[in-house]
Structures are given as C-alpha cells and as structure tokens.
Amino acid sequence: MTVTPVAPHEPEPVVYARARSPGIRWATLFHRDESLGYILLAPGFIILALLMAYPFVYAVFLSFTSKRIGGPATFVGWENYAKLASTDLYWKTIWNSIYYTVVALVFKFVGGLGLAVMLNRPFVGQRLAKALLLLPWIIPTVFSTLIWWWLFDPAFSVINEVLVVKWKLLSKPIPFLTDGNTAMASLIMVNVWRGVPFFGISFLAAMQAVPDELLEAARVDGATPWRTFWSITFPLIVPVVGVVALISTIGTLGDFDLPFLLTRGGPNDATTMFAVTAYTLSLSSGLIGLGAAVSMTMFPLLAILVVVSLLQVRQRQGVS
C-alpha cells in the first residue's frame, strides 16, 4: 500500500504562503483552540507569574536570610525560624490567628445558617431586607471598622453608655479594646458581624435552589420542618456551605484590616496575627527576613485549606 501524499489544502509552499500573506498564519493562530487558548491566557498568567509566583519564591528565600531594609540578603538557614520560635510574639501570633479564625468561623456559620433560614420564606419586603442585611459585608471594611472603633471608644462608647448608665445591666464599662481577652472577643465580634450576611446570603441562594418537590414530599410524609431541614435541605446545600466556609477561613487567617485598624495587635500582643506581626516586623522595624518567615509560617496551614477547597470544588464539578 503506497501512500501518495496528496494534500490539496496544505501544499508544500507554506513558506511561500507565509511570505505572501502573513495574515493567514495569524488568522489560524487566533482561530484554533490549541493556540488561542494560550494567547488569551498569556497576559493574566504573566502578571500572576511576575507578581505572585515570583514573590512567593522570593518570600521563601527571604525567610532564610537576615535581610533588613536597605541591607544585603545574607543566607542564614533556619536562623530566623529558630529566633522566632524562642519569642512569645511568634507563638502568640500563631495561637491568636487560629483562635480568631476558628471561633469567628463557628459564629459566622451558625449565624449565617440562622439568617438564611429566617429569610427563606416569602414575606413583605424580602428584597429590601436581603439588600439591607448584606450591608455589613459590602461596605468597605476600612470604613465600617472606623465606625466600630468609635463604638468601642474607651471613654465614649455608646454600647457602654446604654448597658451601664441607661439600662444599668453592668456595673462598669466593658474595656472593649484595652484588655487582652475582651480585645480578642471584640475583634471576633466585628469579624462575625461582617461575615454573617455573606454566609447568610450565600446559604440562602443555595437553599432556594433546593427543588420544591423534595420539600413537598417530606411534608406529605409528615416530616417536621426541623427534620426536613437537616435531612433534605442541609445535605443539599453542603457543597456551597463548604466552599463558602473554606474561602472565609482562608481570608480570616490572613486578615490584616481588622486587627491592624482596631488594635494594631495590642494590647500586649494579645490580638496580633500573621499579617499584623509580619507588617510590624518587616515594614515598621525593617527586619524583612523575620517578617517573611512569619508570613511563611502561615503557608502550610493555607496549603492544607486550599487543597481541601480544591477537592471540594472539583467533586462538585463532577456532580453537576
């Protein structure tokens, strides 16, 4: 069987064709999936490579050097990590970040579920209520945190005024941001206040996607609303609930705005967290190597969370 290569559409003078009209080759490049795919991805991925991948590698490198602002980057091995491990600040940073993230997550989750259940019924003004209740999440953090700062004012807090003077529920004012324990509780409170609407509205959207027939069938079978929720609605919204919770956890672990604005990590490092400690060490004190090492400590935790999120999203894609 002899093959006579006859290719009428792809004649030999490719070079000739290119020479005569370069447009043809460009048109193919921009036409075929194989090439167009990469062309369209290129700008975004170049930016991400230069400003995320490269900084990440650079951060790992810096965390093993004694770099200070304006100074040379001398390799020192694990010295930064060893130095950090011998300080209270480092352990406080790790503990505070995890505590803040976990406690806030529990409250946001429960609150969000409650909010979604409350709004998941027809009532007069539902649209308006949904829009208004989402406000804490959409108003820029910096500005809403400023308001909380004022609400937490040590001498003129309206919350204390009402609780202590007007209603006489407390004998002395709450030291919102000036005492270590209450400062952490206050930060968690503001984080929850900001997060509950986001959790609630996402959960609500997922609940409204639950087919009515299933709920109707459960009702006909005599299931209580409580039972229906946990046996039908909840399992069906778990994928959305899980992704929302994971995204929020990752964001909270790396949070900077709230602890920085309200307490700067104080009093006495009681509320310092990864981003705040890294900021004070590297940018305020100029110890870039140490600051990078603090940021890098966050990485293993983040990596685990990211892998779990990925698996969850992929599983979900497989289902739908």
Partner 1 sequence: MAESTAIQLKRRQGLVAVVLRRLRGEVPFYLLLLFVSFLLLFPFYWGFITSLKFEKEIFDFTGNLLWVKNPSLANYQTLFKTPRFFIWLRNTMLVSTVTTVLSVIVSIMAGYSIARLKFRGVTAASVIVFVTYLAPKGLLFVPLAQILNDWSLLGGLPALMITYPTFLIPFCTWLLSGYFSNVPVEPEECAMIDGASRIGAIIRVTLPMAWPGILTAAIFSFTLSWNELLYSLAFVRGEENRLLTNGVMSAFARSDIYFWGPLMAASTLASVPVALLYFLFMDRFVSGITAGATKG
| Residues in 103-162 that interact with partner 1 by CB under 8 A | 115, 118, 121, 123, 129-136, 138-144, 146-151, 153, 156, 158, 161-162
Q: How far apart are CA 148 and CA 35, in angstroms?
A: 52
CB-CB contact of 116 with 200 (8 Å):
yes
The DSSP 8-state label assigned to residue 32 in this structure reads S
In the bound state with partner 1, the residue whose beta carbon lies nearer, of 14 and 27, is 27
Radius of gyration, alpha carbons of the chain: 28
Q: Give the residue, chosen from 17, 179, 232, 257, that forms a contact with partner 1 under the rule CB under 8 A.
A: 257
Place of tokens 């209603």: 167
* Segment 51 to 70, residues that bind partner 1, using CB under 8 A: 51-52, 54-56, 58-59, 62, 67
> What string marks each residue from 298 to 317 as x (binds partner 1 by CB under 8 A) or -?
xx--x--xx--xx--xx-xx
Q: Give the residue, chosen from 183, 260, 263, 270, that forms a contact with partner 1 under the rule CB under 8 A.
A: 260
Q: How far apart are CA 247 and CA 238, in angstroms?
A: 14
List, in order, residues 6 or more apart from 138 with CB less than 8 Å away: none
Please report whether residue 261 would count as binding partner 1 according to CB under 8 A.
yes
In the bound state with partner 1, the residue whose beta carbon lies nearer, of 141 and 182, is 141
Please report how close the Cβ of residue 188 comes to partner 1 at its closest, in angstroms: 15
φ, ψ at 65 (rounded to 5°): -125, 165
In the bound state with partner 1, the residue whose beta carbon lies nearer, of 11 and 154, is 154
Please report how close the Cβ of residue 6 comes to partner 1 at its closest, in angstroms: 28
Q: Which among 280, 307, 305 has a CA at the least distance from the CA of 291?
A: 280
Please report whether residue 197 would count as binding partner 1 according to CB under 8 A.
yes
CB-CB contact of 63 with 289 (8 Å):
yes
List, in order, residues 6 or more apart from 224 with CB less than 8 Å away: none
Q: Give the residue, chosen from 98, 193, 232, 266, that forms a contact with partner 1 under the rule CB under 8 A.
A: 193
Q: How far apart are CA 186 and CA 193, in angstroms?
A: 10
In the bound state with partner 1, the residue whose beta carbon lies nearer, of 184 and 260, is 260
* Segment 282 to 301, residues that bind partner 1, using CB under 8 A: 282-283, 288, 291-292, 295, 298-299
The DSSP 8-state label assigned to residue 203 in this structure reads H
Which span (4-12, 30-38, 211-219, 228-236) binds partner 1, by CB under 8 A? 30-38
In the bound state with partner 1, the residue whose beta carbon lies nearer, of 217 and 283, is 283
The site for partner 1, by CB under 8 A, has a size of: 101
Place of tokens 């027809």: 122
Task: Report the helix count and the strand count for the chain, using DSSP H and E.
Answer: 17, 0
* Segment 234 to 253, residues that bind partner 1, using CB under 8 A: 239-240, 243-244, 247, 250-251, 253
Please report whether residue 25 would count as binding partner 1 according to CB under 8 A.
no
Identity of the amino acid at 166? K
Please report how close the Cβ of residue 91 comes to partner 1 at its closest, in angstroms: 18
